[in-house]
Amino acid sequence: MLVLTQEVGETFAIDEGITIKILGISGNEVRLGIEAPSQVKIHRAEVLRRITSRLQQRANRTPGN
């Protein structure tokens, strides 16, 4: 895991097409701005887990059920 220390307004890049900007910090909350190509899907981890779970449930269903 890479750990970065950034200040509000600073940015960092992931690969060539994704940029993360620190928009604000308030207590334990950090606001991030993410710029990425439209084909890159960005989800919070808990949302991605729900999506993955639903897709697995659909894949496990057998025809006729």
CA-based nearest residue to 24, from 43, 5, 36, 9: 9
User: What pLDDT band is residue 62 in, cutting at 50, 70 and 90?
Assistant: low
% the chain with pLDDT above 70: 94
Mean pLDDT of the chain: 92
Q: How far apart are CA 32 and CA 44, in angstroms?
A: 12
* Tens digits of residue pLDDT in 25-53: 999 999 999 999 999 999 999 999 999 99
User: CA–CA separation, 58 vs 46, rounded Å?
Assistant: 19
Contact assessment for residue 29 and residue 39, using Cβ atoms and an 8 Å cutoff = no
- Domain residue extents for the chain: 11-60
Q: Which helix (H) or strand (E) holds 46?
A: helix 45-60
Mean per-residue pLDDT, 13-22: 94
